[in-house]
Structure 1
Amino acid sequence: MKLSLFTIAAAALAVAPAHAETLRAADAAQLAAASARAKPGDTIVLADGVWRDAQLVVEARGTAAAPITVTAQTRGKVILSGASNLRIGGEHLVVAGLVFRDGYSPTKEVIALRRDSKTVASNVRLTEIVIDRFNQPDRRAEDIWVALYGADNRVDHSWFAGKGNAGVTLAVIRPKGDARENRHRIDHNYFGPRPPLGSNGGETIRIGTSHESLSNSRTVVEQNLFERCDGEVEIISVKSGANIIRENLIVESQGSIVLRHGNGNIVERNVIRGNGKPHTGGIRIINRDQIVRGNYIERVAGTDFTSAIAVMNGVPNSPINRYHQVANAVIENNSIIDSARITLGAGADAERSAPPVASRFAGNLIRSTLDPFRFDGDASGISFAGNMSSFNPPAQVAGGVTRSTKDFAATKGGLLYLPGSTAGAPQDLVPLKRADAGPSWYPKVVASAPFKGGRDVAVAPGALEQAVRAAGAGDTLRLAPGTYRVATPIAITRPLTIFGPADARISFAAPTLFQLGEGGSLKLDGVSISGSAAPRTPGNAIVRAAPRSTIANYTVMLDNVTVADLASPGFDVIATTPATFADRIDVRLSRFSNITGAIVAAAAERGKDGLYPAELVRITKSRIADVGRIVDVARLGTDESTFGPAVEITDNDVTGGGTPAVRLSGVQSATITGNGFARAGVIDVAHSVGFPVTNIRCNRLTGTPAPRLAKLYAQGSPVVTLDTPATEATCATRS
C-alpha cells in the first residue's frame, strides 16, 4: 500500500512520545543543528524553496517505535539544485519529499546512506525522493545517485530518471572486506528513461561488486517500474548472494536482469515487456543455485547475452571477477512469449568453456512462430521436463518440451497462458500498476519524438541564423528558394528541422556550419549545401557534435540532402566529438560529391574502455561520388557491456573515393548490403570481443577490392556473412 507524506507524518505522530518536537530548517547549517538536537519521534521540516549548492548532512538516532523524520514542508517543493548532495548517518530515520534537479553532486554520490566511512546508516527509509537528470557536466564522470551502505534500509515510492553520466543509478555498496548481510528493500520506485551510455557503467541497480560476491546481501528489489532503462546490458546487476528480485515491471528497456556474481538468488514473478524494441532482454543466469521462476517475458528482441533466458558458460576455476560455472539452476514455470531467443551455453568460447551442470528447465511455456532455442555450448547438464511450446522443439530438448496447438488466452491481468496447462507463469500474476510506482505528485516521463510537436516557421534568404536562435524545440524551419550565406557557425541547442526545396542552397564560410550543443538535435530535409566558401583549413564539418561533454544524447538526420565541394583536407559531413553520444545518425536518399573527409566521422573516442560515439549509423539509398570515406566508426577496448555501435550501409551507389571506403573497428553489428561500389576503396572491418555480427552481401564490386576483415583480440566469436558464388547468384536473382 502506498503511503503519502501526510500518512507517514500521521503515523510518526501516533507513535511519537508526548514530548516530540517539530524542528525547522531553512539551510544546511540549520539542518545539521536540528539533526544534532533531534530526539526519537521528532520531525525536522525543511522550508520550501530552492536549496542551491546545499551539501546536507543528517546524523541522528531514532528508535524503531519513534523514528526521526526529515521531510519537506510541502512534498516536491524543496528543490536541491546546483552542487548539492545528501549524506545520512545513524539509525531509524525517515527522509521524505525532496527533489534533486538542475545540478549535480560535488562528490561521487548524490544520496549516500552514510555520514562517513565510520558512520553508516541502518533502518533508514528514503521515501518519495526525486532525482531528475541530476548529472555531472562530463558524461564520463562517474557518480551514483543513491548509494546504500549499512543494513536494513529501504528506498520506496521514489523517482529516478534521466541519468546521462556514468555510474549506477542505485547501488548497494558492499565494500571489500565487509561481507555483512544488508537486508535492504527497494520497492515501488519509478526508474524512468536512462539513455544508452555508450560504455560500461550504466546499470540502473547494482547489488554489490565482485569483491564480496560470494557472500550474501539478502536485498529485496520488488514492485518497481523500469521504463526505457537503456544504459547498458545490465538493468539490474546482481553481484552478491541470496537476493530476491520479484514482481517488478520492466518495459522497453534494453538489457536484462543479470545474475552476474553470487549464488542462491531468486528472480520471480517479474513481468518483462520488450514490445519488440531492439536489445530488450530477459534474465541472464551465471553462478550456483539460482532460481528463476514464475516470470512473464513477452516480445523481447535480444539475442545472445540478452536473450529472454540466457544460461551462460563459465570459466573453469574462474577468478572472482569473471564467470563462475552455472550449477543447480532452476528455471521453471516462466512464460516466454513471442521473444527472439533462448540461449543455452551463452558466451561459450575458449575461455568460457565450463557448461551448465545439474540444472533444470521445467514447466515453462514458450510461444513463438519459430524455434527460439539456440545452443552455443554443451547443454547436456540441463534437464528438460514438462515444458510446453507452440513450435516443434529441437532435438536437444526432445521429451522435455511438448508442442501444443491450442490457442492461448489472456488472464485478467492481460498476460497470455495456455488453457488446461500448468506450464508458464502463475495465472494470478498481475503486472505492477503504473500509478503504484514513484510519488503520486511527480509525473512519469512521456516519450516524445525529437523533431515533432513544434511550429512551422517560414524563413527567407538571409534570415536562417535569426530563425534558429528564435526557434523552439521541435520547430520546423521551412526555407524559401534562394541562397543562404552563413558566416559563423549556427548553434543548435534544441531538436530542430530545417526543410527546403533543392534550390534552397546553404553556403557557409566557417569551419563548421551547424554546431550542436547540449540538447541539440538536427534534421536536414531537402536542402543543398556547398562547402566551397569554407576556409581551406583541415578538419571542417557541416554538422559537428558539441565541443565539450554533453549529457543529452543527440540525433542527426539527413533526408534528401545534396552536399558538394567539401574540398579542404579532412572535410567531414557529420563529425562526432569525444564525450558526446548520438542515439542515431541517419542519412537517406541523399547525394554527396567531392568530399575529402567522411560522410560520418565517428571515431572520436580513443580510450580503451569500450567508449564509442554513436549507437546507430545508417546510410541508405544515397549516391556517393568521390568521397574520402563513407563512414569511419570505432569502438576500442574489450568491454562487453554495450550493444553498439551498429552500422547499416544499404542500397547506395558509390563511385570513386578514398581507401578504405568504409572503416569499422569494434562495431557490434555491421550490415553492408545491396550497394554498388565502382572504383572505390576497400571495406575494412576489424572485429572486437563479444559476438559481433557482420553481414556484407549482395554488393556489386566493380574495380573495387574484396572486403578486408581482421580480428583484434583472441577472445570473441564474430559471426560473418560474406558473398560467395552461391549467394552472389541469389543476389542476382533478387535484383
Structure 2
Amino acid sequence: MKIGSALILALLASAAAPANARDLLVSDPAQFRAAVKAAKPGDAILLADGEWRDFQALFVGTGTATKPITLAAQTKGKVVLTGQSNLRLAGRHLIVSGLVFKDGASPTAEVISFRRNSSDLARDSRVTEVVIDGFSKADRRAEDIWVALYGTGNRVDHSHFEGKTNSGVTLAVIRKAGDPLDNRHRIDHNYFGPRPPLGSNGGETIRIGTSEESLSDSHTLVERNIFDRCSGEVEIVSVKSGGNIIRENLVLASQGAFVLRHGNGNIVERNIFFGQGVPDTGGVRVINRDQIVRDNYLEGLAGTSFKSAISVMNGVPNSVINRYHQVANARIESNSIIDAARITFAAGADAERSAPPVDSRFDRNVIVGAKGTDPFRAEGAIGGIAFADNVEARVATPLLGAGVEQREVTLERGANGLLYPTDPALAAIGAPRDLRPVTRDEVGASWYRSTAPEAAFGAGVTRRVAAGASLAAAVAGAQPGDTLTLATGTYDIPAPLTVRHRLTIAGAKDAKPVLRIVSQLARIVGGGGLRVENLAIDAHAAGGAGPLIAIEAGAAPNYAIALDGVSVRGPAKGRLTGVAMAPGTFADDIIIANSSFADMGVVIDGTGEQEPKGWYPMERLTIADSSFAGVGMLADLLRKGTDESTFGPWFAMTGSNVVDSGTDGVALRISGAQHVRITANAFAKSGAIAIIHSVGAPDTRISGNSFAATPAPRVEELVYKGPLRADLSNNAMEARP
C-alpha cells in the first residue's frame, strides 16, 4: 500500500470516533490534501521539514475559538515553499505558522490569500511567524500581492516580509466593491524589511481598501510593526477606507509617507519616524474628513510636498471618489516634528485641486526645522486651518505667526531614544514622553533573519586575468562581488559576456588593457550588475546590432551599472548604443564617471518602457567629469504618464564636455524626471538639452554651463499650465561663428 493511501485510511478511521487534538505530519501534497479533509478542531497539520517546490496549498476548515485548526511547519523555518508556490486559507478559526516562501514567485495574483474564492473567505483566522523573502516575479511589471486579507476578524502578526521588487502591494486589505465588509483585521508586530523603489505606482507596503468602497469603514488596526527602508513608492501605508487606526509603528529610512488617501475618521497616533536624512522620507499625508494625527514623533525627514513630515492636501471640489476629497475637520495635535525639511499645507494646490482645507486644527506641536530653517510651506490658502499652542524653534522669517510661538528650543534625547525639549514649560507640548519604540526583537519571526543581500561591487575576491586569456571563462567562474583585474594588452570579446551577479572588470594599476568588441561587451541576465574601470573599449568593428551592455528581460530589478575611467570608441556616429535596458527591468543606479565616448549612438538608452502607467527604467542616472564626441545622444531617458506616486527618475550631470553630438537637434533628452541637475558642463557644436516635465512637481536646475554653437536648453511642460518650473540661470551662450 502506498504511504499516501495508508495515511488517508488512518485519518478517515480516526475521524469516525471522538479523539483528542492530533498532530498530522505530512510529507507531500497528496498527504496534505488528505489531512485537510480529515482535520478537526484542535488538530495541527505539520508540513515535513524540507523544500516544498511548486506547492499550491489550499487550507480550508472550521475550527473554534478555543480549538483552531493549525497548519504549521514541523520545525519553524525549516519548511521552505519555493518555485511556483502559494497558499489559500478559507473557513473559520484557522492558524498558519512557521512557513518560509523563498526562491520563487506565486503563479497567481497572491502569495497568501485569506480566501478560497470570491464567496469562500477566511474569518477569525491568523497568519503568524510566516516569512516571505524576495518571492517576486521576475518582471517587475507583473503584479501580485504577497498577503491578501479578505473576510473579517483576521490577523497577520510576527511575520517577516522583505525584498518585494515587482508591482503590487506587500500586504493588502481587500474590500469587495459594492459589498465592503467591516473587516476588523489586525496587522501587528511584523517586520516589513527593505522594499526598493519600484519605478511606478503600485509599490505600497500596506494598503487598506481601494477608492471604490473607501467611504465605508474597515476598522483595521495596524500597530507595532517596523517599516525598514520600505521605499516602493510615495505611499508606505495607503489608507483607502475609514475607521482605521495606525498606531505605535516604527518607520526607518523609508521613502514616502503614511497616506490617508481615501476614507474618513482614521487615526494615526504614537508612531515614530526616523528619516535619517534620506531623500523623500516623509511622515503623514492628510486627505478627506475627520482625520486625527496625534502624539507622533517625526525626526530627520527630508521629504517635501506630498512627502513632507506633515502634508495637508488641497482637494478637488465635488471630487469623484478616486480623486482628492477636501480636507475637513482634521486634527493634527501633540506631534514632535524634529529636524524636518518641510511641513506643507494646501499641498498640490492647482487648477483642479482648488478646495483648501477647512474646519481643521494644528495644535500643541513642537517644530524644529532642518538646519535652522522654517519648514512651513503653504501651496494655497490655509485660512481653514486654526493654529494654537504650537512651538517652533526660532527662525529669522517665519511663515506662521498667531498660534505658532517662536522661541529657543533646546532638545535632549530621553531614555526612549527620542528628543524632547529640556524646558519644563514645554513638557505638555509635542509627542508624549511615554512613547516606546518597538524593537527588532519584538517583531517578525524570532527565528528568521534574511540572508546577506547581493554582494556589493568589490566585496568578493580579486582574480587576475592575463592578457590574451579568455575573459569569458573568467566571468563564468566569478562569484558575486568578485573583481577581475586585467593586465596591459588586448582582450578579444567575440561574443557578449554573460553577467549573472555583481561583477567588476578593471584594469590593474598602471595597466592599459583594451577590450576589443566584435558585437557586444556584456548582457546582464541575472542579478547584480556590472562595474567597468580603468580600461579602453575598442568597438570600431562592432556591427551595431545590439548595445554595448544589454540589460535583458528577466534581469533582477535594482541592478547597477558603473563605468569609471573607461574610454569607448564606437564604429561611427549613430550605430552603437552604450547601455540599453529591456522593458520590465529597473536599475537603482547607472553611473558614468571620468570616462570618454566617441563615435557612438545613444550612450544611455532608457526608452524601453512605453506603457502610459508611468514605468521608468532607472532610479538614478549620474554623469560626472566625462567627455562625449560624435555621439548621437548622451542619454535618452523616458518616463511616461502623469502618476505622482514615484520618487524618480533623478538625473545629474556635472563637469563634462560634449562636442559635435546630437541627433535631430537634441544631444540630451530627459522626459518625466522628478529631479534634474545639469551644472558646470561645456557643450560645443551640439544639439540642445531637452527636458520634458510630465508629472508631479519636478525640480529642474540647468545652471553654470557653457553652450558654444549649441541651442539653449529647452524645458517643456506637458500638463502644467503655470510658469516654467526650472532654474536656467548663469549659463553662458556663445553663438556660432
Pairwise TM-score range, normalised by the shorter structure: over 0.9
Answer whether contact 2:343 2:376 (CA < 8 A) is retained.
yes
Paired residues for 1:302-701 under 5 Å: 302-368=303-369, 369-392=372-395, 396-419=399-422, 420=424, 421=426, 422-444=428-450, 450-463=456-469, 464-500=471-507, 504-535=512-543, 537-538=544-545, 540-546=546-552, 548-567=553-572, 569-595=574-600, 597-658=601-662, 659-701=665-707
- Between stretches 28-37 and 637-646, larger displacement belongs to 28-37
Q: Counterpart of 2:220 in structure 1: which amino acid? A: T
Give the Cα separation in 1 of the matches to 2:705 and 2:717: 22
Render the CA deviation track for 1:147-184: whole Å, top value 9, x for unaligned. 00000000001011111111111000001012221000
Change (3 A) 1:305 1:474: same
| Deviation of the 1:503 alpha carbon | 5.0
Give the Cα separation in 1 of the matches to 2:455 and 2:344: 34
Is 1:250 matched up with 2:254?
no
| Deviation of the 1:201 alpha carbon | 0.7
Q: CA RMSD in A?
A: 1.9
Q: Counterpart of 1:708 in structure 2: which amino acid? A: R
Change (3 A) 1:718 1:135: farther
Give the Cα separation in 2 of the matches to 1:290 and 1:452: 49
Q: Counterpart of 2:680 in structure 1: which amino acid? A: G
Q: Counterpart of 1:496 in structure 2: which amino acid? A: L
Give the Cα separation in 2 of the matches to 1:119 and 1:705: 65
Answer whether contact 1:192 1:444 (CA < 8 A) is retained.
no
1:325 counterpart SS class: coil
| Deviation of the 1:566 alpha carbon | 3.9
Partner of 1:144: 145
| Deviation of the 1:626 alpha carbon | 1.8
Q: Counterpart of 1:375 in structure 2: which amino acid? A: A
Paired residues for 1:231-250 under 5 Å: 231-250=232-251
1:29 counterpart SS class: helix
For structure 2, the residue ranges without an aligned partner over 5 or more in a row are 1-17
| Deviation of the 1:374 alpha carbon | 1.1
Give the Cα separation in 2 of the matches to 1:125 and 1:83: 23
| Deviation of the 1:77 alpha carbon | 1.0
| Deviation of the 1:666 alpha carbon | 1.1
| Deviation of the 1:304 alpha carbon | 1.0
1:526 counterpart SS class: strand
- Between stretches 493-502 and 669-678, larger displacement belongs to 493-502
Give the Cα separation in 2 of the matches to 1:156 and 1:716: 48
Render the CA deviation track for 1:179-203: whole Å, top value 9, x for unaligned. 2210000011111111111111111
Identity %: 53
Q: Counterpart of 1:127 in structure 2: which amino acid? A: T
Give the Cα separation in 1 of the matches to 2:658 and 2:58: 62
Give the Cα separation in 1 of the matches to 2:558 and 2:296: 32
For structure 1, the residue ranges without an aligned partner over 5 or more in a row are 1-16
Paired residues for 1:138-217 under 5 Å: 138-217=139-218
Give the Cα separation in 2 of the matches to 1:60 and 1:136: 30
Q: Counterpart of 1:361 in structure 2: which amino acid? A: F
Is 1:31 matched up with 2:32?
yes
Partner of 1:19: 20
| Deviation of the 1:449 alpha carbon | 6.5
Answer whether contact 2:573 2:630 (CA < 8 A) is retained.
no
Give the Cα separation in 1 of the matches to 2:447 and 2:199: 32
1:305 counterpart SS class: helix
Change (3 A) 1:718 1:269: farther
| Deviation of the 1:215 alpha carbon | 0.3
| Deviation of the 1:592 alpha carbon | 1.8
Partner of 1:13: none
| Deviation of the 1:570 alpha carbon | 3.6
Change (3 A) 1:77 1:716: farther
How many residue pairs match? The answer is 708
Answer whether contact 1:25 1:31 (CA < 8 A) is retained.
yes
Give the Cα separation in 1 of the matches to 2:586 and 2:557: 8
Give the Cα separation in 2 of the matches to 1:718 and 1:410: 44
2:570 counterpart SS class: strand
Change (3 A) 1:651 1:569: closer
Give the Cα separation in 2 of the matches to 1:423 and 1:448: 45
Change (3 A) 1:201 1:579: same
Give the Cα separation in 2 of the matches to 1:406 and 1:649: 40
Q: Counterpart of 1:645 in structure 2: which amino acid? A: P
| Deviation of the 1:471 alpha carbon | 1.1
| Deviation of the 1:42 alpha carbon | 1.6
Change (3 A) 1:517 1:391: farther
Give the Cα separation in 2 of the matches to 1:99 and 1:716: 52
| Deviation of the 1:35 alpha carbon | 2.0
Give the Cα separation in 2 of the matches to 1:204 and 1:587: 32
Answer whether contact 1:531 1:567 (CA < 8 A) is retained.
no
2:46 counterpart SS class: strand
Paired residues for 1:86-105 under 5 Å: 86-105=87-106
Render the CA deviation track for 1:306-334: whole Å, top value 9, x for unaligned. 01111111000000000000011111111
| Deviation of the 1:88 alpha carbon | 0.4
